[in-house]
Structure 1
Amino acid sequence: MEKKIPTTAHSPSPSQATISPQDTAVNLNAKSGSVDIESGMPTTNDTEQEQTAEEILAKEVETLPMRQLAPAFLGVAMTMFMAALDNSIVSTALPRIGTEFQASNKVELVFTCYVITFNAFQGLYGKFSNVFGRKATVFVAIVIFILGSILSGVSQSMTMFLICRALTGIGAGGIFSLSNIIIADLVSIRDRGKYQGFISAIFAISALVGPVMGGAFVDKVSWRWCFYIQIAFAAITIPTMAIMVKLPRPKGNVWDKLKGIDWLGTFFMAITAVFLLLPTNLGGNLYAWNSPLVITMYALAVPSIFAFLYVEAKHAENPIVPPYLWKNRNVVTLLSINIFMGMTFWTLIFYLPIYFQIIEHETATAAGLTMIPLEAGIFISSNIVGILVSKFGKYRPYIFTGTGIAVVGICLCLVLANTSTKAVHVVVLFVCGMGIGQLFPCLIVAIQASVERKDLATVSALHNFFRMTGSGFGVAINGALFQNHLSSGLVKANVPEIYAELAKVSAQKIVEIPDGYREVVEEIYLDSMKTVFKATIPMAALMFLLTFFLEHIRLNAKAPVVPVNEKAEIEVVTTDKAEALTPEVKK
């Protein structure tokens, strides 16, 4: 394919030189400015000029100078921290929320409602970001997220709270996807590993700060402040993003852009998420597995999937998920790994605080502090691996070691459930973090490296869609197993109905059960927690086995850049000279 090279650094010239990248390279001599030799595209400080979406996506990505990249990355990092903090802070508050609304048996639905809406609009956010621009789309996502957080804080019933968490999920889905997409716009594929490692570290920090902050609010003030605090973060994040992040704005008529969106595909993608995740959570908990509602939802999921695939393949002019992506071996494998990673990671995040509060009799704040080793492992491993990926251009070895260590860590959780020794807690959680932490930077870099530039936003959105789908399945499946084992255990132990109902409806009220029965109930809770850990082991094992199907794609080294002034002279260089300027990088 031929590329046209502008002759000026800031605006296209009527006269352009057409150069074949297979046979030639471009040598541009100047005093200021720069040009990417691989792509022939000039770099410019005027990053917010209006261009068509096609023109923007046609450009190769090169890492910006640090003076431009650092403030832009700060804006993205703050946005990610705000959304990630919401996840960790809520998990600590859920036991108290369930108690206040007398609905502890519905706390898993809080996460399910969030995940369903998080996933439902993933494809739409990816497409919106291409046609409306990254910044405009991420601002919409932030506003929806903050609105959902405020309404969650003022909720007066579990039903209202579930609806508000669903609204929050719509905004959070956009924040997570668009942050990954913006980083990909700012940083070359080779350098992306270390920056994704920094983002993973932000997740670790938020997962550390969130439970502690949430525990302090729950114990000292009110669980509602776990949501009101997001207003303060938004007051800092929105101006930072607006000022620091400079990206091109696609031009064009808004109405034409809206008509070009794959609305039908978005609809089928959304209802498929509902029909898969909701019955998985309701079954064995609020409804029997053989109830008409659960069976009907599962039955409707099958035609919804086929309808979505048909619309994308035959009907949509601009599909949110192009069918050819399903033929890409790496894309399919990495999305599958993401499912089981979501199952594994979120089971730990969701159930470990409950374990420490109920089994170890810790306060919400103390339970949050006990999670420090897990987050420390994620922080250390994600940063080290991110730097190694950027240095050597290889990601597959770290996906292999990460999934393997994660399996070992989950198996060790069975030891965790049999002891209250703090040293054991630290070791087990740290091992889990060291394994899972390696996957955060590697998986997103791997899937972005497996597709062309025009599909980058799509696979970034799918990356989050499949991980959160796995999260929803993991929490829902393990929640059903936990509740079923708890209910049957209470019946077998002949626990009086009044105490059994108290244990099932409000886990925090176990301390109010009289001695004699309380010890029995706590032992049943411990056995139920072991069931959760046992069910998580095959999830982690499948994640490990899938790594053997990955094909390695070497990440290209950063191409050398030479200066160019506003009226640069173009010299067409022969192949021999080109090889001297740009050493060949084999994939």
Structure 2
Amino acid sequence: MSNTNTSPSTQEIASNAAAASTDVIPNHALTHTHNNLSQSSITTITVITPLQKAGDLAKQNDTTTPVDPESGLPTAEVEKTSDEILAQVVVTLPLRQLAPAFLGVAMAMFMAAVDNSIVSTALPKIGTQFLASNKVELVFTCYVITFNAFQGLYGKMSNVFGRKPTVFFAIGIFCAGSILSGVSQSMNMFMVARALAGIGGGGIFSLSNIIIADLVSIRDRGKYQGFISAVFAISALVGPVMGGAFVDKVSWRWCFFIQIALAVVTVPTMAVMLKLPRPKGDIWSKIKAIDWAGTFFMAISAVFLLLPTNLGGNLYAWNSPLIITLYVLAIPSILMFLWVEAKHAENPIVPPYLWKNHNVVTLLSINVFMGMTFWSLMFYLPIYFQIIEHETATNAGLTMIPLEAGVFISSNIAGLLVSKYGKYRPYIFTGTGIAVVGIGLCLVLAETSSKVIHVVVLFVCGMGVGQLFPTLIVAIQASVERKDLATVSALHNFFRMTGSGFGVAINGALFQNNLNSGLETAGVPVDWANLARSSAQKIVEIPETYRGMVEEVYLDSMKTVFKATIPMAVMMFLLTFLIRHVRLNAKADPSTPEPERADVTTVAAADEGEKEVKEEVVEMEEEKQPATAVRGDKEELK
């Protein structure tokens, strides 16, 4: 009969290891057993694995490690450089941590997105009150120019200053622009206010995508981007209805004051719920790390490209000196931007090597045409329903429900499928294809007043475009390293909104030119024609003798917009064939615990801890066992 002998020191280590394994992960303890034939004894020693040690250290940190009040993370986590933070592997947070953080991001996105949709409904009334309906498209361009001008800056700022400070800065600028928009006394003042709001809105959109990438792994990102797209769809649904109600019942100014109320709820929520590391360093070194020259040339390039595109054929002739000068200035501005980024900037906002990435270039090109397509629909459909279908602003907003329902459904389905199967190309392909069909059906919509056809056409458009919201951002983020994630996320928004500016501007010029020539050809008296040009809502004041003629011209002009949007959608579809698939990393086994975010230090400490335990075990064995047994034990432990 054999006896079991365990020395007190060995027993103590074994019991401590067993306790640790019970608290952390019961199945990850390694039990080492060997027989000593000469002493007829069996010695059992439990060795703690790195995963157990990491769990013990994490538990200890929960109670003893100081917490940074700004980020909500242990102080050790915020005392890292931006490069160290970006070098860490992103894993999806546990749901209990992810849900409240995601809520803050969704609220910020809703606030910025509802602004875009609410303005589209209010613009006809604003243009009428300020007697400047021919400047309505210019309002949108002012917003888009500033939205785009600082996209690269926000990407770099979020790396240098941290995500939370940057997004709070963007929200502050956005709120200032919203307040000024609500108190505007002229169209010029309103356009300046919208330009200021665009600076903040651009940051909110970019930072939302960037923060999600910090919280969720690339494989799971599709479904969460689908949720954000659903938030966008909800805001696009609520915005027109809310805007219509304000315009019809209260005042269009409340379309902008409501943003302040939303910010009052959003900012505290993000401050409390969102816990992200803040890079260390003094404020001056962080400011010097920003590529200010690149930011400047990127901003003026956006101005010189978008401004003449909107002014041409509207307020100025296409061959006017101003339009030609602006376009000519755009060329050296773009060249200077590329030179600064390639030769001058130490930390460029857009590293030159990104332009050599096939997928990045292709996906950014698709974003341009997606912006042209989607925002042309969002901008002109409410105008169509108000002018051609004689609906109120509120009803025009309600008529957009099928489009937003299609976006809501398809974005969530596409996002879930991307996460499930790890593929995004099929859904980009089907999304662009269905979008082409939907845009083509808009010509049918313009030929009938049937509500059923309106619903079907808008729903098809939404089902197509909706698939692109989660898939395009996942595709472009998967195509680069994490250090470039913030940059490509910002460029993603830059090119999409640049496309939207070009789309609305080009269609606006076509609409206005067709309207002017149509009114002249129809023989509408000059006074009534000028009234129709100055304010679409004043058509009801035109005598019935000429009102029908004016409405026919408006309808024909709207058809021109739909016809011009079709080739934009077709280009988007054709570019899909150039996308190369980048494999998304496989989903982790749900039964295997994932390490916490930013745990590089903890794992390293765990490795040291395991090494120390092994050395103690070997020393005790050497005291008791023959040399042969010790050599075997060492090999087994190694």
TM-score with structure 1 setting the length: 0.90
**What amino acid does structure 1 have at the position aligned with 2:267?**
I
- Is 1:204–1:375's contact at 8 Å kept on the other side of the alignment? yes
2:74 paired residue number: 46
Q: Decide whether aligned partners of structure 1 residues 49 and 259 sit closer, same or farther in structure 2, where only a CA change above 3 A counts.
A: closer
Distance 1:373 1:204 in 2: 10
Q: Decide whether aligned partners of structure 1 residues 520 and 66 sit closer, same or farther in structure 2, where only a CA change above 3 A counts.
A: same
1:456 paired residue number: 485
Q: Is 1:519 the equivalent of 2:548?
A: yes
Deviation (angstroms), 1:558: 3.2
Structure 1: stretches of 5+ with no match in the other structure: 1-25, 36-43, 573-587
1:288 paired residue number: 317
Distance 1:333 1:246 in 2: 34
Distance 1:33 1:454 in 2: 31
Q: Is 1:336 the equivalent of 2:365?
A: yes
Deviation (angstroms), 1:45: 6.3
- Is 1:32–1:563's contact at 8 Å kept on the other side of the alignment? no
- Is 1:63–1:191's contact at 8 Å kept on the other side of the alignment? yes
Distance 2:112 2:54 in 1: 43
Instruction: Provide Cα deviations, 1:336-377, integer angstroms capped at 9, x if missing partner.
Output: 000000000000000000000000000000000000000000
Structure 2: stretches of 5+ with no match in the other structure: 1-48, 59-71, 596-601, 612-638
Distance 1:563 1:268 in 2: 43
Distance 1:563 1:474 in 2: 45
**Aligned-pair Cα RMSD in Å:** 1.6
Distance 2:56 2:300 in 1: 49
2:34 paired residue number: none
- Is 2:73–2:277's contact at 8 Å kept on the other side of the alignment? no
Q: Is 1:203 the equivalent of 2:226?
A: no
TM-score with structure 2 setting the length: 0.83
Instruction: Provide Cα deviations, 1:142-184, integer angstroms capped at 9, x if missing partner.
Output: 0000000000000000000000000000000000000100000
Out of 431, 435, 444, the position equivalent to 2:473 is 444
**What amino acid does structure 2 have at the position aligned with 1:29?**
Q
Q: Is 1:366 the equivalent of 2:395?
A: yes
Flag the structure with larger Rg: 2
- % identical aligned pairs: 80
Deviation (angstroms), 1:259: 1.1
Deviation (angstroms), 1:380: 0.2
SS at match of 1:286: coil
Q: How many residues align?
A: 539
Out of 206, 210, 215, the position equivalent to 1:177 is 206
Distance 2:460 2:207 in 1: 30
**What amino acid does structure 1 have at the position aligned with 2:566?**
I
Distance 2:344 2:378 in 1: 40
Deviation (angstroms), 1:27: 5.7
| Runs of 4+ with >3 A deviation | 29-35, 44-48, 558-572
Q: Decide whether aligned partners of structure 1 residues 424 and 34 sit closer, same or farther in structure 2, where only a CA change above 3 A counts.
A: farther
- Is 1:29–1:569's contact at 8 Å kept on the other side of the alignment? no
1:29 paired residue number: 52
Q: Decide whether aligned partners of structure 1 residues 358 and 563 sit closer, same or farther in structure 2, where only a CA change above 3 A counts.
A: closer
* Structure (1 or 2) with the greater helix fraction: 2
Instruction: Provide Cα deviations, 1:115-166, integer angstroms capped at 9, x if missing partner.
Output: 0000000000000000000000000000000000000000000000000000
Deviation (angstroms), 1:491: 0.2
Q: Is 1:489 the equivalent of 2:518?
A: yes
Out of 182, 188, 197, the position equivalent to 1:159 is 188
- Is 2:445–2:454's contact at 8 Å kept on the other side of the alignment? yes
- Is 2:91–2:594's contact at 8 Å kept on the other side of the alignment? no
Out of 244, 247, 255, the position equivalent to 1:226 is 255
2:90 paired residue number: 61
2:431 paired residue number: 402
Out of 355, 361, 376, the position equivalent to 2:384 is 355
Q: Is 1:417 the equivalent of 2:417?
A: no
1:568 paired residue number: 606
Distance 2:607 2:202 in 1: 46
Structure with more contact order per residue of length (Cα contacts < 8 Å, sep ≥ 6): 1
Distance 1:259 1:192 in 2: 33
2:276 paired residue number: 247
**What amino acid does structure 2 have at the position aligned with 1:228?**
F
Deviation (angstroms), 1:51: 1.3
Distance 1:85 1:259 in 2: 35
Instruction: Provide Cα deviations, 1:188-207, integer angstroms capped at 9, x if missing partner.
Output: 00000000000000010000
2:614 paired residue number: none
SS at match of 2:55: coil
Distance 2:291 2:467 in 1: 35
